[in-house]
A and B are shown apart, each in its own frame.
Chain A
Amino acid sequence: MKPISAMALLFVVFLGALFIYVSEDIPDFGDPYSPANRYVNLHISIDVGADGLEDSLRAGVIPEELSSRIKARGFPSPSETEYSVEEVEGGWDVLIAKEELLYPEPEKYYFLKEEEEGNKLVVYRYSIPVRWEEKCEEEIGVPNMVTAGLADYRGYDTLGETTVIFTAGIAVILLLRRRGKL
């Protein structure tokens, strides 16, 4: 093996390791517990202990009043379709997740959180587009939301896309130039 190709191999291995290290700590986009994009406030608040809300939730039954309020907001109401109340860690009190065959889409989660003042239960819903719309302006000062999304929220994809274009150019150079020197 010529020293040059050994060096090249070492360099490629180093780049691979860097790539793996770099992509380790990026929160995977769909993970509902990742802090960056977990919830969107639905501004529905139900006073706790109204009619035994606490224990009915703990028993896994979704009260009618809660789901009717959610339905009134235009979201699919948890009680009609098969939703189940589950234990949840990560700072939430209740998670209502849709029962799906494989694994429920994160967009169908409802989180309930105990509010301090007036002990209310506030309903949050997990949704990337709504969060993108609300938080994009304050997080990234770019007026054009599409560019903000392309460059920062999905900056890793655009990096990959640019690399693909770069590789395509190099491939064309290698294929179409047979003048001896590269």
Chain B
Amino acid sequence: MNGKKGKIWEENVIIETITRLMVPFIQIYALYVMVGTEGAGGGFQGGVVFAASIVLFTVTFGISKGRKRLPESWNAALNSLGLYLYAGVGLLCIVLSLGAAQYLNYAALPLSQIMSPAHTRALMISDVVEVGIGLTVMSIFASIFFDLAWKGEGKKNKDKNKGDKEVQE
């Protein structure tokens, strides 16, 4: 694949339009899988499918555009936000029930006075915990792919002013 300098692959209109069409639907499907507990799959599977959509986008539009879609700052934030959500809710059960409940025992949250304890657990699990797992898994898989595919970091150090013009096989 001999493209212009710095742009190894040529744009292919067909692939780009199809990807532009598919990526939003994959992401909606991932969110459906992640948040809804009816069907099979939970946070982990939803996160992976979301990451697959980012990977698809990056493969077609090149790393620089992909990196613009999920910049480094967002990536680092989402990494820990998901895990923080999960562990935080668990710890919240202890804090809010003043040490009465066990860790990760969602029935002890004050929500269970409004709804029945089973509903509080269902709400906590299917929304806070699954979304937390999904966030972490999504950003981790995306960041692993970006690191793996980041081919030109060796010589990029030398010419700092060239910006992040990646050369991707």
| CA–CA, A150 and B133, complex, Å | 12
B122 contacts across to A, CB distance below 8 A: 140-142
B148 at the interface (CB under 8 A from A): yes
Shortest distance in angstroms between B106's beta carbon and chain A's nearest beta carbon? 7
Chain B residues touching A, range: 35 or more
Q: Which residues of A contact B (CB under 8 A)?
A: 22-23, 25-26, 138-144, 146-148, 150-152, 155-156, 158-159, 161-163, 165-166, 168-170, 172-173, 176-180
The A interface, classified by DSSP as helix, strand, loop or mixed, is: helix
Q: Which residues of B contact A (CB under 8 A)?
A: 37-40, 42, 44, 79-80, 82-83, 86-87, 90-91, 94, 102-104, 106, 116-119, 121-122, 125-126, 129-130, 132-133, 136-137, 139-141, 143-144, 147-148, 150, 153, 156-157
18 more A-B contacts (CB under 8 A) besides A26-B103, A147-B130? Answer: A138-B118, A141-B116, A141-B118, A147-B42, A147-B125, A151-B42, A151-B125, A151-B126, A152-B121, A158-B86, A158-B133, A166-B82, A166-B83, A168-B144, A169-B140, A170-B79, A177-B150, A177-B153
> Known contacts A142-B122, A179-B157; is A172 also within 8 Å of B143 by CB?
yes
Give how many A-B residue pairs fall within 8 Å (CB-CB): 108
Q: Which residue of A lies closest to B139 (CB)?
A: A169
| CA–CA, A168 and B148, complex, Å | 13
| CA–CA, A179 and B87, complex, Å | 32
> Are A163 and B37 interface neighbours, CB within 8 A?
no
| CA–CA, A147 and B41, complex, Å | 7
Shortest distance in angstroms between B162's beta carbon and chain A's nearest beta carbon? 14
